Structure 1
């Protein structure tokens, strides 16, 4: 079901958070794996009472490609070009054009060209402020700077658009409340990295929030005309009714995100299952194309084509051609994919292999070559898409196998990869009894939803913990404890070290700003600080913080216990604020100690 029109919220009923009251603009940035963009609206547009037929005025940019065709798109490629000195040159289509011009003029050596770098943040256990990214020529540069340059560009473009839109010369940058979209499956370390990059790009911490991509999409789509109902023998298409349970499938260039929500009576959303997914988005298909050609033509030849400066521009063209033709094929109706290939590649192949590419392809099933075209049969293309399709379908089956999710009736598909007909056809075939919703602007649903979410964060009534959270503490020895964990305190009592003292359990539900608190006692009467280290685990009940499933959430921090009155009976509270897109930590000695807000150092240097 392709959705043509949206119904806005009744924004006059929305309660705005006090800290947003005086912000005039809400602006969203989507730094995607393959493509990036922004959207914004003026605050009064969201607060105005609107009729059901009006569209909420969330604006996005139109980007013009650098090609001779001058194509217009809602997003621009996630490509960044820096000078030899590391200064910003350009981003998006312009960066790709400028770099190609340098390559064609043989002036590119030393320039730094980056693209599709966001996946660096996906499940990167060693991510820190000194993590580097290699540019197109294999030279390393600080990843934090790459992300900061990219965010700064999108921020600047957005501000310029705001000035063009706002005729009154009273607009200042502090009037903007920012929101950056991120995958729901990112761990806290990746979120922290993105926040630090945003701060380096000039976005202040107190003016920035994150929106989880599939969640933002669901905020946008849930008010669309998405489901059929019959009243007094008359059928109509209406938004989701209260009680509707639906799955959001966010198929991006890098990641696949799945969340399950329920619409409550007040139109807020309750999460029914914590977000999950993987890194098999649209870009994984491109990688399988490259792997296929390495097998078909030889790794040595393809490595030469990719790394030799003489072919630098041709390789970039080849990658762009794969992305372009993949998207054309994914839209459906094509029996054969035709890749344009350069005459220099044909020469390279013949010199390396001693025969023409067309002769070589005669022995390869579903592949042929004629002149400057490489022809790939539909069956071969489907095979390259299949791992991603299988992964998506398996994720969905896993959801529907859970007893508490049997009421899910609708599937919303968003993200650029959701426009792939191979995927949508398979989803419809596999889940015939469900209402499949594909918004007309599926690639912008996340951005527009992020703007609405930032204005009305209370629209998300509850979320579920993506992992179990606990702290490392020592406790009294219990029968059955691991003998290697035993030690004695200053009073000679047997103690157990490295105990996982749990705050929350994976998939536990929390309303917005709910808190989970641990009460902790010292093991010595003269203790003046309580050292605390937070850990996460994908198990429900880990026993020790040294278990394989446990990972530290940053360097330990200290909670002040300088008031020695009470001795061993003293206690501190360590509190996590849950139900938000980020975890916030506080520590306090009870009853009269100062509440200390803890900034977890997730990005260890």
Structure 2
């Protein structure tokens, strides 16, 4: 089904709202769904104080709190002169870039990204990233409500007709997982937008998630990507250049299909546009150390961020940061008539880590993809940079890659929120590639002929049946690089042994799912280490699947090794569905020759 041809088949009017919580700028898109009509994707383009910013349909992701922790100014209003003066006079605390505090903080990250992440501004005292996100979501929602009431004919009546039936879509970077989603759900609950039970994983469908890469694909199909581009089964790369992250994904549409599939694992790098500004700050802090204008560093950096960075396109021409009046001069530090002069080469260096990241990713995807790539589509605010565009174009030519680079004509900073709504209306991606290997730590039967088992003889476990088991063997359920479709389920057979005294433990049986992010293999055909201790630094607990097994049939078995009495064994399978942005789980067993199932709760471990 082509974008724009979806017809809403529901029985009553409803509203879908998509939040794009960005590191530096955030936006909202929405659609009012009327039965029998083709919905229109619309963006909220009017916010309080919006004239203060040039972000198109977005506002700055900023929240000011007073000393008592109360919200005083949000978004564009935080940049109004009177609020800036009050913030200084009344010692308000500023929360910005708080989204990056929700990110996964995993070991083994790229050193360039580690260096950049270390410079993220701290959160205000007594405020968590989730609390700040909840205040910002609440503000975006109120702005959406006001916009609909003011922009639609008979707006108050329109709002009244949908306010009790609203679904939310929240976008997030490609590299975010279940724990980050749980944090965003909690923020929506704290904001009062959904009830607590609706914010739980596997709960109500009012809250859903989409990766920024996938949202970018939906936006590209609606704005600028030629219809015939992918009819031959060729792939496209979506580069979503945001404030905090650069999200890179690749998709193709198989011949004779109207759906898309991911063709390589998506990537997420913390090298978005804010890190260009960070590098500029570091340079200016050093170069102005002995200048009287060093005390104006924050303002000078702000002027660079809003103008010089945005318009930079030529490293052979000098660049200027306009920050003062004609009376502001310090020739020893390249300041004349209120302008600080930088060489084009210097400014280009601020961009270099981000540009290298994008160009290397594009080349790697072209090499690794099983299908030819024909286009690279740039979306997101950072992708509007002329310098980024030129450098990517130059890299493509130098490597003789047959790629056409496109930027949608519509506002690229609307890509994520618009694409999120489009995906809600008509999801077109039906297969994705696993970014890592997922599995479980098993206790395996001790084999005296296996040297790896003998090496771990001091760790053996003993069961009521007399069995000897070697702990922490990694059994892969889903291998890195595996294509997972909407119908794909992965399962693993499990059992639990209990006695009459321990039957009560069946009421809450946890199953821990592990993620392996490393490259080690036990042999050429394996998908990871055979045991956890071979590369423990790259293993992490992803989530706990919790199930009630007390109603499952018990198999009585005599105790072994001459011990009188019997124990009980319950057999079941843990079934996982990785086929969307959210992980889901079930418990499956056989009873009286029939397959039975029950949903299981998924609780994600904190990977921060």
Q: What TM-score range do you get, normalising by the shorter chain?
A: 0.7 to 0.9
Residues 1:369 and 2:364 are matched in the alignment: no
Q: Which residue of 1 aligns with 2:584?
A: 584
- Superposition pairs of residues 472-551 of structure 1, within 5 angstroms: 472-478=441-447, 479=450, 480-481=452-453, 482-483=455-456, 485-512=459-486, 514-523=488-497, 528=503, 529=506, 530-539=509-518, 540-546=527-533, 547-551=536-540
Going from structure 1 to structure 2, the CA distance change for 1:543 and 1:163 (only over 3 Å counts) comes to: farther
State the match for 1:158 in structure 2. Answer: 144
1:212 aligns with 2:211: yes
Deviation at 1:317? 3.0
Give the CA deviation at 1:285. 0.4
Indicate the SS of the match to 1:339.
strand
Aligned to 1:426: 391
Tell me the CA shift for residue 472 of structure 1: 2.6
Distance in 2 (alpha carbons) for counterparts of 1:277 and 1:260: 12
What is the CA deviation profile of residues 497-530 of structure 1, one whole-angstrom value per residue up to 9, with x for unaligned ones? 1222322111211112532111112355666434
- Structure 2 vs 1, CA of residues 294 and 174 (structure 1 numbering), >3 Å: closer, same or farther? same
Q: Deviations over 1:194-251 (max 9, x none)?
A: 1211221223332111111111111221254534xxxxxxxxx755425231111111
Q: 1:24·1:42 contact (CA, 8 Å) conserved in 2?
A: yes
CA–CA distance in 2 between the matches of 1:57 and 1:594?
A: 39
Any conservation in 1 of the 2:310–2:385 contact (CA below 8 Å)? no
Report what 1:358 is aligned to: 331
CA contact (8 A) 1:561 1:572 kept: no
Q: Following the alignment from structure 2 to structure 1, what is the Cα–Cα distance between the partners of residues 431 and 369?
A: 20
TM-score of the superposition, structure 2-length normalised? Answer: 0.80
**1:513–1:102 distance in 2 versus 1, CA, 3 Å:** farther
Distance 1:604 1:420 in 2: 33
In structure 2, the CA distance between the partners of 1:536 and 1:134, relative to structure 1 (3 Å rule), is closer
**CA deviations over 1:323-361 (Å, ceiling 9, x no partner):** 112443336699333224469x98xxxxxxxxx9432x3
How large is the Cα RMSD of the aligned pairs? Answer: 3.3
Pairing partner for 1:147 from 122, 133, 151: 133
What secondary structure sits across from 2:131 in the alignment? helix
The one of 60, 69, 72 aligned to 1:77: 60
| 1:377 Cα deviation after fit | 1.7
Q: Decide whether the 8 Å contact of 1:112 with 1:136 is kept in 2.
A: no
CA distance in 1, matches of 2:375, 2:15: 33
Q: Please give the alpha-carbon distance, in whole angstroms, between the structure 2 residues aligned to 1:163 and 1:538.
A: 48
Distance 2:250 2:369 in 1: 13
Report what 1:284 is aligned to.
275
5+ residue gaps in structure 1? 1-6, 50-55, 127-132, 228-236, 306-310, 347-355, 362-367
Whether contact under 8 Å (1:518, 1:575) holds in the other structure is: yes
- Who is 1:231 aligned against? none
Query: Aligned runs of 1:246-261 on 2, under 5 Å?
Result: 246-261=236-251
In structure 2, distance between residues paired with 1:254 and 1:112: 21
- In the superposition, relative to structure 1, how do residues 217 and 44 fare at CA in structure 2: closer, same or farther (>3 Å)? farther
Aligned CA distance change for structure 1 residues 439 and 70 (closer, same or farther; 3 Å): closer
- Distance (whole Å) between structure 2 residues aligned to residue 116 and residue 74 of structure 1: 19
Matches of 2:291 and 2:330 in 1, distance apart? 12
Find the counterpart in structure 2 of residue 384 from structure 1: 350
Partner of 2:549: 560
* TM-superposed deviation, 1:121: 2.2
Given the superposition, is the C-alpha separation of residues 589 and 87 from structure 1 closer, same or farther in structure 2, using an over 3 Å criterion?
farther
Q: Is the 8 A contact 1:485 1:498 kept in 2?
A: no
Aligned length: 541
1:597 is matched with which residue? 600
Q: Distance in 1 between matches of 2:317 and 2:283?
A: 19
How far apart are residue 48 of structure 1 and its match? Answer: 3.7
Once the two structures are TM-superposed, the CA of residue 26 in structure 1 deviates from its matched residue by: 1.8
Pick closer, same or farther for the CA change 1:68–1:505 going to 2, 3 Å. closer
1:203 aligns with 2:169: no
* Cα separation, partners in 2 of 1:501 and 1:485, compared to 1, 3 Å: farther
- Contact 2:52/2:79 (<8 A) preserved: no
Match of residue 447 from structure 1: 417
How far is 1:460 from its partner? 1.3
For the pair 1:120 / 2:90, whether they are aligned, the reply is no
Moved more, 57-66 or 179-188: 57-66
Report the 3-state secondary structure (helix = DSSP H, G, I; strand = E; otherwise coil) of the residue aligned with 2:89. Answer: coil
Distance in 2 separating the partners of 1:489 and 1:286: 59
> Map of 1:262-341 to 2, 5 A cutoff?
262-264=252-254, 265-298=256-289, 316-330=298-312, 335-341=317-323
What is residue 233 of structure 1 aligned with on the other side?
none
Tell me, in whole angstroms, the C-alpha distance in 1 between the residues paired with 2:6 and 2:330. 61
Cα deviation for residue 419 of structure 1 reads 0.8
Q: Which residue of 2 aligns with 1:58?
A: 41
Higher mean alpha-carbon deviation, 30-39 vs 167-176, is at 167-176
Alignment check: 8 A CA contact 2:18 2:28 kept:
yes
- Which range moves more in the overlay, 191-200 or 523-532? 523-532
Correspondence for 1:43 among 15, 33, 44: 33
Q: CA deviation at 1:580?
A: 0.7
